[in-house]
């Protein structure tokens, strides 16, 4: 289990983020300047609305302690590679999806450590670990930002090679995602069974509320249907892998995936339960 926590989890997330970087080009970032309204709405939702929604649902469902902090940790995580794939399946605006994922992922190195530091103290009280924001930011840089940057360098220097390996990296990343989810659930089976009746409905509610709100708000803003679908998916689908990977770092443990990572693991399963019917509903609507 120690190898899983200290080696496999960080390495797996790094590979997932590398697969994101390999698919990025400078035009993905430049596109933000030409589509300010769509990007601003999507970014505002992810940075502000998602955590606020999570907080309200924590209060509504009576979650406390590490589980409540874990839900907040999940809400702080940006969208992952999965959101780009789902946007493609939904006939959404994939370019917008990639831009949002890339920019918010890079910003998360600043936002996540600060917000996590607040959440664990607020919800765990005296049981909260001592978190050094700087060390958490460095860890996030090494397992998220650096792999994305390496992927972009590969795409820049060897575009043909990058295009060839991107599908394989995405496939590997998807497989690793499944393994990480299963490992997190297995290591917290007792806590999962005792809290599933509350945790499950809370996470499902968060998914449904955010996806519907994304569609409606983007519609009120006059965005195209493809943009509306993409924003809905980007704000609904969070990078649960990041939440699971950060959990042992936050709790300073190598003996397993702690309870604070359980919401991200459960979310990783429920995400598909909600997202697949939603995508089928909006795909050709």
* pLDDT number for residue 206: 94
* pLDDT number for residue 98: 81
* pLDDT number for residue 3: 64
Q: b or e along 8-45 (b: 16 or more beta carbons within 10 Å of the residue's beta carbon)? A: bbbebbbbbbbbbbbbbeeebeebbeebeebbebbbeb
Query: Which ranges of 188-285 does DSSP label H, i.e. alpha helix?
Result: 189-220, 225-236, 240-251, 262-282
Residue 226 tokens, joined: 């493809």
Report domain extents, the chain: 2-282
Residue 145 tokens, joined: 């930002």
Q: b or e along 51-88 (b: 16 or more beta carbons within 10 Å of the residue's beta carbon)? A: bebbbebbeebebeebbbbbbbbbbbbbbbbbbbbbbe
* pLDDT number for residue 116: 93
Distance set, CA 45 to CA 53, 80, 148, 232, 238 (Å) = 10, 15, 23, 9, 12
* pLDDT number for residue 120: 93
**DSSP 3-state of 24:** coil
The answer to whether the beta carbons of residues 242 and 116 sit under 8 Å apart is: no
Largest CA distance in the chain: 53
**Would you give per-residue pLDDT tens digits along the chain (285 residues)?**
566 666 777 777 788 888 878 877 777 777 667 778 888 899 899 999 999 999 999 999 999 999 999 999 999 988 777 787 788 888 888 888 888 888 888 888 889 999 999 999 999 988 888 888 888 888 888 888 888 889 889 988 998 898 888 888 878 877 777 777 777 677 667 777 777 788 889 999 999 999 999 989 998 988 888 889 989 988 888 888 888 888 888 888 766 778 898 898 888 878 878 888 888 887 766
- Residue with token string 């397993």: 256
* pLDDT number for residue 4: 63
Within 13 A of 188's CA, how many CA atoms are on the CB side? Answer: 28
* pLDDT number for residue 66: 92
How would CATH label the architecture of 2-282? Up-down Bundle (1.20)
- CA-closest candidate to residue 80, choices 281, 254, 238: 238
């Amino acid at each position: 289990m120690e190898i899983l926590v200290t080696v496999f989890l960080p390495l797996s997330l790094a590979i997932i983020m590398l697969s994101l970087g390999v698919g990025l080009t400078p035009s993905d970032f430049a596109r933000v300047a030409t589509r300010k309204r769509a990007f601003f709405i999507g970014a505002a939702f992810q940075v502000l609305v998602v955590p606020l929604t999570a907080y309200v649902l924590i209060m509504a469902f009576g979650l406390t302690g590490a589980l409540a902090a874990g839900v907040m940790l999940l809400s702080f995580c940006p969208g992952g590679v999965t959101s780009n794939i789902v946007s493609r399946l939904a006939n959404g605006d994939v370019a917008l999806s990639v831009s949002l994922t890339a920019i918010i992922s890079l910003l998360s190195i600043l936002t996540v450590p600060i917000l996590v530091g607040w959440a664990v103290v607020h919800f765990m009280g005296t049981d909260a670990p001592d978190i050094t924001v700087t060390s958490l930011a460095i860890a996030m840089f090494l397992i998220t930002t650096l792999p994305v940057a390496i992927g972009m360098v590969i795409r820049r220097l060897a575009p043909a090679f990058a295009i060839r390996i991107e599908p394989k990296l995405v496939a590997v990343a998807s497989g690793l995602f499944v393994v990480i989810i299963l490992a997190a659930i297995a290591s917290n089976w007792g806590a999962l069974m005792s809290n599933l009746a509350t945790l499950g409905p809370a996470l499902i509610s968060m998914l449904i509320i955010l996806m519907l709100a994304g569609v409606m708000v983007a519609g009120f803003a006059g965005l195209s249907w493809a943009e509306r679908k993409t924003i809905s998916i980007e704000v609904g689908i969070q990078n649960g892998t990041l939440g699971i990977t950060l959990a042992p770092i936050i709790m300073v443990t190598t003996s397993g995936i702690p309870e604070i990572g359980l919401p991200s693991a459960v979310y990783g399963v429920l995400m598909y339960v909600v997202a697949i019917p939603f995508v089928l509903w909006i795909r050709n609507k």
